[in-house]
Structure 1
Amino acid sequence: MKARWGLTILAFLLVLLGGYLVLSPYWALKGLQAAIERRDPAALEQYVDFPRVRASLKADLNAAMVKELEKAQDDPFMALGMIFAGGLVQALVDALLTPEGLASLGTGKDPEQASLEEVRQWRLKLQGLSRAYVHHKDDPQTGLVMERQGLRWRVVRIVYTP
């Protein structure tokens, strides 16, 4: 009889754990959306790993600039433009890492023009037990990569096509 109760309790705990593993990224997404809509930097900090996102976004933007520069090797004005564009990378990163900037992802709008309510149009795709991809319903190519960090989920990368 005790073994039967033990198995029942174990099965119940496994179902709870499975439910948590499946539902926790959706709860994190709801929290992220609420933090953006409220423009709450403290709450946003809980859902976004800002140092990691900044580093990956800068690397992606710099790589895109190098790629463009390689395409236009014979154009001296392009090279000069890329030198000045290097200084703009930090400004672009700073603009994207705001509630308005995050809300504008996938909308095709500038951060100043996007409505914070756009985050309600985000969709989540699980990519395993520790990774998820969040994107605007109209643009699956631009989005946020979330990873499990302990028991919580945080944005660790922005997938953005400049």
Structure 2
Amino acid sequence: MNKKLVVGLVAATLAAFIVAWAVAPIVAAQSLIRAAKAGDTAKLEQRVDFPSLRESLKAELNAEVLARVRGDPRLTESDLGGIGMMLAPMLLSGAVDTVVTPEIVAAMVRDGEAPDPTGAPDPAPKTGDDGGDIHQSWGYRDLNTFSVTLTRRDAPNKRLALLLDRRGLFSWKLAAVDLQSGTEP
């Protein structure tokens, strides 16, 4: 074989590998979003690392509840506020373990919102929302974490970042969320 032909084949193979490696999280994210919109729980179970997602959601919701409690002077000045801050992580942990299912993940992706940790009703309930009012931005956070940030057009200051982690060379799974994502990736 010709030396130029071998070098060309090696370069083409390497380029194809790099493109496939870089595009893999986009394909995985699109597959996750399609499965969520279709309500396909079997596909969601394949595309989500539920133990990791639950731990991430617990940490994010605990931080949000603590910020809300600290921001309310009535709770910070009372003894009940301190007790609430101690009990909140335990209560949230049990609730997240029970509630985070493929159906809840599908709702999070479709609605662009994480569950409300306080259980307060949504002031503007969504009716017939098909996810058309959700802006998506995509990008790498690092070589092994890919972010799909969902922003509702009616609440541009609230973002939900779905964080996919690399599992091998070409496989990605939803493993975490970032509720405080203040900037787009």
Distance 1:120 1:45, change over 3 A: farther
Determine if the alignment matches structure 1 residue 76 to structure 2 residue 94: no
Give the AA of the match of 1:91.
Answer: A
Residue of structure 1 aligned with 2:171, choices 129, 152, 155: 152
TM-score (norm. length: structure 1): 0.76
| Deviation (angstroms), 1:52 | 0.2
Count, aligned residues: 160
Contact 2:112 2:134 in 1 (8 A): no
Of residues 91, 99, 108, the one that matches 2:106 is: 99
User: Could you say what the CA RMSD is over the residues aligned between the two structures, in angstroms?
Assistant: 3.3
State the Cα distance separating 1:32 from its structure 2 match: 0.6
Instruction: Give the drift of 1:41.
Output: 1.2
**Range moving further from structure 2, 147-156 or 58-67:** 58-67
Separation in structure 1 between the aligned mates of residue 76 and residue 85 of structure 2, nearest angstrom: 11
Normalized per residue, which structure has more helix? 1
Question: Percent identity of the aligned residues?
Answer: 22
Q: 1:13 to 1:123 in 2, by over 3 A?
A: same
Q: Could you tell me whether the CA contact under 8 Å between 1:69 and 1:79 is conserved in 2?
A: no
Give 3-state SS (helix, strand or coil) of 1:135's partner: strand
1:113 to 2:116 alignment: no
Distance 2:126 2:95 in 1: 17
Please state how far the C-alpha of 1:37 moved relative to its aligned partner: 1.0
**What letter corresponds to residue 113 of structure 1 in structure 2?**
K
Structure 1 residue runs without a partner (length 5+): none
By how many angstroms is 1:101 displaced? 2.6
8 Å Cα contact 1:126-1:133 kept in structure 2: yes
Retained in 1: the 8 A contact 2:57–2:96? no
Q: What are the superposed Cα offsets for residues 94-149 of structure 1, whole Å, 9 maximum, x if unpaired?
A: 26843113322259995x83735359742211223322111124457421111111
Quick one: which amino acid aligns to residue 147 of structure 1? D
Matching residue within 121, 125, 144 for 2:139: 125
User: 1 CA distance for matches of 2:96 and 2:52?
Assistant: 16
One-letter amino acid of the counterpart of residue 32, structure 1: L
Q: Tell me how far 1:156 sits from its aligned partner.
A: 1.2
Distance 1:54 1:27, change over 3 A: same
TM-score, scaled relative to structure 2: 0.68
